[in-house]
Amino acid sequence: METDATADDLGKVAAKLPGTQLKAENAVYENEDPAYRVFVDSLNYLDADEIALIVEAYRFSERAHLGQKRLSGEPYITHPLAVAGALADWRMDAQAIVAALLHDVMEDTAVSKAEITRRFGKQVADLVDGLSKLEKIEFQSYQDAQAENFRKMLMAMARDLRIVLIKLADRLHNLQTMAPVRPEKRRRIAQETLDIYAPIATRLGLNNISRQLEDLSFKQIHPMRFRVLTRAVKAVRGNRRELLSKILDGIRSTLHEANIEAGVFGREKSLFSIYHKMVEKQLSFSQVLDIYGFRIIVRDVPTCYLTLGALHALYKPVPGKFKDYIAIPKGNGYQSLHTTLIGPYGTPVEIQIRTQGMHHLAEEGIASHWLYKDSEESGADLQLKTHKWLQSLLELQSSAGDSSEFLEHVKVDLFPDEVYVFTPKGKILALPRGATVVDFAYAVHTDIGHRCVAARIDHELIPLAAELANGNQVEIITAPHANPNPAWLAYVKTGRARSKIRQFLKAMQQDGSSALGEKMLNHALQTLGVNPAEIPATAWERVLGVSGKKSRREIFADIGLGRSLAAVLARRLVAHEEVFQTEPSVSTPLIIRGTEGMAIQLAPCCQPIPGDPITGLLRKGQGLRIHTHACQVARKLRNSEPQNWIRVDWEPDPGQLFDVRIMVTAKNVPGVLGRVATGLSQAGVNIEHVSMDKGKPGLCTELHFLVQVSSRAHLATVMRSLRRIPDVVRIVREQE
């Protein structure tokens, strides 16, 4: 049954609406809802017309959800009301609260975006649309659907941050009321919250929300462990009450003697953070000593450092446990001084020292922009940091191939732990713990990342895979013709670096595949006796229409990647067309240089070089891989995939160097490695890598070289020159 407002409810609203006449049909509610009354009372910071709009949105949502029940049996309207109430507690604007009340109407009812636009305006409709799932699209799996829904939400969030605040309030209320939901769904939603939503809350500085999301998710995923830890923490709280009181009194007394005005509060670790520490460091509960800590709120920044000095005089600090997040704030804007002291009876005591403005920012994060008007300076800084992060999401979105890849990139960036490093000019960059030199290069600029070849950390040359540490000064060395290496994907940590590398490699693969595909199609046409230049435009238009491709380049790329067969396409181009056709030529091999790029790769198992008899394996989506005829791997694959092999041959003079492995067995005498290396150098060979295996002690040593040669003939010359060295016993080319 449709309901209206009570006179008492509307009386409260009317008191805030001077000169506003409420319609008669809205003057009476048949049922009073205490939650609604509390909600309306919490809107007293808004203007009268804004409150009227929110009341209208509540009634609209109530009518739209009429008859719908939550699994608990409550009317569905209780959920959007709770979400809107959370936003009112944050003192959000009227549009956000209206969107919170309507956030499920597009998804769960027949209400359209156009209707919301007409009733409440375009901004509200865009907010609701950003929160609505993609119900009308069919996805291959639940994971794909969730990834695309998350992608949609983040893209909307990049346009309007209020969307994520509504979503976090929505997720928090859902977790608080999950008792009637079936266990497997509870665990799935809780795990998704730990993977995505709690880290987003942390990234936006919403630590209070993040802790609640983590603890509620922990309770759903590991209910027994949650109960055991809850009991253990309560027991410890009682056992340590006297000790904690002694520490608290000591801190207050010391600050009073130093004439420092401060609020001192006990701080208890959340259950999830205790559990996470136990798992991460493989500790028992009794070994987690820092369950309790203290937070000190002071007047200004100088007083923070005065307080730190006073506390270090009271108790000895633990070396290496001091962190200054005031001078160098975290990426989400968090600021505090952190120190760990050795308290009475050797008990470690964690202390956080901050100003009131820092405390607001630490607890409410981006929401403090609406909540506290007295911390505008730090709030503006957080807004700027958040804006930069959201812009990075848009960059990831534009370069990600699909929703799952985008979600993977974003997950990488939702980290709580950071290292702070410096550019040569003294600029500070925050990167995730474990980030490498390559991550740093891409954080500076995409072109720097693409062209980096080496780096100096604190003026010392180091490899690109080296992990960065706090305080490092990093200088990137670039080369004009350098390109990203696919191996970088194995160790980069940031979503930006991973995304940019993949984007570059995809473009390279597309270009190389297109060139290879064109060469293969031309070869197939010549085999049919047709000059490729004489294929009329009408033939290409017909083939493009049938294939659904937009350009010849896409067709060439499909051929180069093995998705289409060159011979089949050649016959389609020739069919029904008046082209000059000679006698079909005898099938000739496809000529390659071996350095065409990612589309043509030399198999690492046999490392073919010009002069080796070769064959090509064309696999769908992988391009052309070249093997030697004698390769054992190729022989096995030829039996299982006979249809994927094509005839290939070397271009007469590729003009490039190729990697090849050789093993030199030499007498185990002093200086033998130097003599062999000198012999290789005199033969005009570049040594890429060398390693040693000892054979029988005192007799021989096996030296493994990765060298670069121009051809098989060049390799033979090199091997002959090495055999002239008296200490060399045997030389072989290493192939699988």
- Tokens representing residue 439 in the block: 């991550």
- Tokens representing residue 571 in the block: 């016959």
Question: Is the distance from CB of 382 to CB of 326 less than 8 angstroms?
Answer: no
Q: Any catalytic annotation for residue 268?
A: no
* 193 exposure class (CB count in 10 Å sphere: 0-12, 13-18, 19+): buried
CA distance 629 to 642: 14
Question: Is the distance from CB of 560 to CB of 517 less than 8 angstroms?
Answer: yes
Rama region for 687: left / alpha / beta (φ>0; ψ in -120 to 50; rest): beta
Out of 4, 50, 93, 107, pick the active-site residue: 107
Out of 4, 108, 381, 511, pick the active-site residue: 108
Nearest CA among 495, 494, 454, 461 for reference residue 477: 454
Other beta carbons within 10 Å of 107: 14
Dihedral sign (CA 184, 185, 191, 195): positive
CA distance 436 to 723: 43
- DSSP secondary structure, 606-673, as one string: T---TTS-EEEEEETTTEEEEEETT-HHHHHHHHH-GGGEEEEEE-S-----EEEEEEEEEE--TTHH
Question: Is the distance from CB of 420 to CB of 430 less than 8 angstroms?
Answer: yes
CA distance 425 to 420: 14
CA distance 658 to 709: 5
Q: What angle do CA 116, 122, 123 make, to 5 degrees?
A: 110
In 146-281, beta strands by DSSP E: 262-268
CA distance 552 to 532: 13
3-state helix, strand, coil in the chain (%, to 5): 50, 15, 30
| C-alpha 377 chain-centroid distance | 29
Other beta carbons within 10 Å of 715: 22
Phi, psi torsion values for 598, nearest 5 degrees: -70, -20
Q: Which amino acid is at 365?
A: G
Phi, psi torsion values for 528, nearest 5 degrees: -85, 0
CA distance 190 to 216: 8
Taking the CA atoms of residue 596, residue 597, residue 603 and residue 604 in that order, the dihedral angle to the nearest 10 degrees is 130
Q: Any catalytic annotation for residue 107?
A: yes
Question: Is the distance from CB of 625 to CB of 590 less than 8 angstroms?
Answer: no
Catalytic (active-site) positions? 107-108
